[in-house]
Amino acid sequence: MRSICVTEVDLERLRELVLVARSCSELDQVSLSGLQRELDRASIISAQAVPSEVITMHSHVRIRDVETSEEREFTLVYPRGADLEQGRISVMAPLGTALLGCVGDIIESPLPDGSMRHLKIIAVVYQPEAAGHFHL
Amino acid sequence: MSTRNIYITEADLKRLRPLVEEIKNSRDDLRMLQRELERARIVAPEEVPPNVVTMNSRVRVRDVAAEDATTYTLVFPEEANIELNRISVIAPIGTAMLGQQVGDEFEWQVPAGPVRLRVEEGLYQPEAAGHFHL
């Protein structure tokens, strides 16, 4: 393979690009394998047949931290729609992946320090399929 | 992660699977660009030959087998616009084009197999035009 030619200035900007993109995709990589594992082991059902207590995409849930009793509400969204301040959590985030497909149980979600946090799903406040919103 | 059964609707699965694939592909693209940067010969902008494809260069590229030519501008991802033939350097064809010289042939890996392309003509190179700010 012949050598290609790149200017110093282009190299500097391209290296930066690779670094930024890689640090993003390394984060993605962790959650990607988690999400893929969940997709592989899930029971697949039609949107019309899904029980109303299952957390589907765009579902709005209330959860309680078992240790601290703190309660929070989240909407499970695709990465583009994520906004943590508004409780819109990406399905690619560890907590989002953990919520997907669950039915009113206690789930485990890893914290950045590696410890596990236990969260009890108290209620599915809104589920698009139960509300007949099949377009979401 | 829990081993309990979870439920996903067919409709959600249909959107989630391509999402996973898309992110995997962009990871592979990035790796390819990094490999190219590692093997590249690095020169000062003032010294780059005018027939080399640098960032923001515009070149006519010919499909060797099909004999049709397309004009592309090689850009950073945020400026990419496929309809205007502004190709991101992270896209496989953009990575393949980077650093080639007029007359060089290179391979573009597409799902159907490699396509052989030739840099037929350099229409614009920022360095040759003295546009070192680009």
The answer to whether A105 faces chain B, any CB pair under 8 Å, is: yes
Of A6, A45, A78, the CB nearest to B7: A45
Cα A94 from Cα A117, distance rounded (Å): 11
Residue B2 belongs to a domain: no
Domain ranges of chain A: 1-39, 60-126
Instruction: List the CATH number of the domain containing B130.
Output: 3.10.50.30
Cα B89 from Cα B74, distance rounded (Å): 6
Q: Is the pLDDT of residue B2 over 70?
A: no
pLDDT for the residue B1: 45
Domain A60-126: top CATH class: alpha beta
pLDDT for the residue B4: 66
- Tokens (6 digits) for A93: 């985030």
In chain A, what percentage of residues exceed pLDDT 90? 30
Angle at CA B27, nearest 5°, toward B24 and B28? 95
Residue B120 belongs to a domain: yes
| 0.95 exceeded by pTM | no
Q: Is the pLDDT of residue A84 over 90?
A: no
pLDDT for the residue B121: 96
ipTM of the complex as predicted:
0.70
What digits encode the pLDDT tens for the residues A41-75? Answer: 888 888 888 899 999 999 999 999 999 999 999 99
- The tally of domains found in chain B comes to 1
What digits encode the pLDDT tens for the residues B67-125? Answer: 789 999 999 988 899 899 999 998 889 999 999 999 999 998 887 888 999 999 999 99
Report H helices in A5-134.
8-41, 94-99
Cα distances (angstroms) measured from residue A61 to each of A19, A127, A136: 36, 9, 16
Q: Identify the domain containing residue B112 by its residue range.
A: 8-134
Of B11, B24, B101, the CB nearest to A47: B11
- A14-28, A74-88, A115-129, B46-60: the lowest-pLDDT one: A14-28
Q: Is the pLDDT of residue A1 over 60?
A: no
Residue B3 belongs to a domain: no
Chain center to CA of B56: 12
As beta bridge partners, residue A62 has A73, A123
Q: Is the pLDDT of residue B26 over 90?
A: no
- Residue A2: which pLDDT band, with cuts at 50, 70 and 90? low
Residue B21 belongs to a domain: yes
Q: What is the mean pLDDT of residues B15-31?
A: 81
**How many Cβ pairs closer than 8 A exist between chain A and B?**
156
pLDDT for the residue B3: 57
Q: Is B37 in contact with A18 (Cβ distance < 8 A)?
A: yes
In chain A, what percentage of residues exceed pLDDT 70? 89
What digits encode the pLDDT tens for the residues B64-79? Answer: 988 789 999 999 988 8
- Residue A16: which pLDDT band, with cuts at 50, 70 and 90? confident
Give contacts of A 22-61 with B, CB under 8 A.
22, 25, 28-29, 32, 34-39, 41-47, 50-51, 54, 56-57
The answer to whether B12 faces chain A, any CB pair under 8 Å, is: yes
